[in-house]
Amino acid sequence: MDKIFAPWRIEWIEREDKNPDVEKCIFCEFPERGEDREHLIVAQNEYAFVMLNNYPYNPGHVMVIPRVHTGAYEDLSDEVLLGHAQLKTRTFEAMTTAFDPDGFNTGLNLGSGSGGSIEHHLHTHIVPRWEGDTNFMPVIGDTKVIVQAVEETYHRLHTAFAELDDTRDIGKDTAVRVDS
């Protein structure tokens, strides 16, 4: 693996204002802005929302994010846990329609040692998988090939969510409302 030494990057890493356009947690702020498509929010219910990962492992990689700001799973109320779980179920349905994967990887990164980049607002990753979707590029070439633009992924998932029962499609730039 090639290594690049870039000592000037430490200033960016250690800066106080991590994102000058975001005053607080992005998972708290982005849904409040009403710019769902711009922030890759594709579906939502009262308790959680589905957001595309801007750096996907595979096409269709999403995060299901509770609207409660916490890094501790045990802090979520039963009502929020149920709403989050129901939205995950609907996400599997929409992803199956949109992408026809052979399977899924799903999980949470909890705590600073888990490898997650946003540790103070828990979120569940759902990654669609296909037989043979891994190849030599990540191993030999240290390169991950993403075969679909995030915009195309958004369109396909938005359409699939809108076709589910008990959903309301308010428009192509607004997250589909999913009733529990």
Q: Check if 61 is active-site.
A: no
pLDDT of residue 135: 54
pLDDT of residue 76: 96
pLDDT of residue 6: 53
| Helix or strand (DSSP H, E) at 107 | strand 103-108
pLDDT of residue 109: 83
Count Cβ atoms below 10 Å from residue 28 Cβ, excluding itself. Answer: 16
pLDDT of residue 117: 75
pLDDT of residue 111: 79
pLDDT of residue 140: 47
List of the chain residues with pLDDT < 50: 12, 21-22, 137, 139-141
- 39, 61, 121, 123: the catalytic one is 123
Q: Which residues pair with 44 in a beta bridge?
A: 49, 177
Q: Which domains does the chain have, with CATH numbers?
A: 20-167 (3.30.428.10)
